């Protein structure tokens, strides 16, 4: 019996840094401007989404929309909206 080769095309999810910036800011605003970085993800978060979200976090730090901090060595990373963030309506 001949078997047909199994061929499957799996569509790759597309994530943009811009979309993740919007998403991170929305999550922060829903959580009083402060959240643990790992709380942004679920167990089903793909590697591509995690990387894109991390790049979005770095961009937000670069443009001074958020700050990051840790309470101790190897402790969780927290994201915080900067108090002087006047770009909320942009």
Q: Where are the domains of the chain?
A: 17-81
For strand 66-69 and strand 34-36, is the pairing parallel, antiparallel, or unpaired? Answer: unpaired
Per DSSP, the three-state class of 22 is helix
The residues near 14 (Cβ < 8 Å, ≥ 6 apart) are: none
pLDDT for 30-66, tens place per residue? Answer: 999 999 999 999 999 999 999 999 999 999 999 999 9
Closest Cα partner for 57 from 75, 74, 69, 46? 69
- pTM for the whole structure: 0.76
Q: What is the CATH number of domain 17-81?
A: 1.10.10.580
pLDDT exceeds 90 at position 86: no
């Amino acid at each position: 019996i001949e078997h047909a080769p199994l061929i499957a095309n799996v569509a790759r999810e597309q994530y943009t840094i811009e979309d993740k910036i919007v998403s991170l800011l929305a999550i922060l605003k829903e959580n009083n401007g402060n959240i643990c970085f790992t709380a942004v993800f679920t167990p089903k978060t793909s590697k591509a989404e995690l990387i894109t979200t991390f790049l979005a976090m770095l961009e937000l730090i670069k443009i001074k929309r958020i700050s990051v901090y840790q309470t101790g060595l190897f402790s969780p990373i927290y994201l915080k909206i900067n108090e002087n963030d006047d770009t909320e309506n942009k």
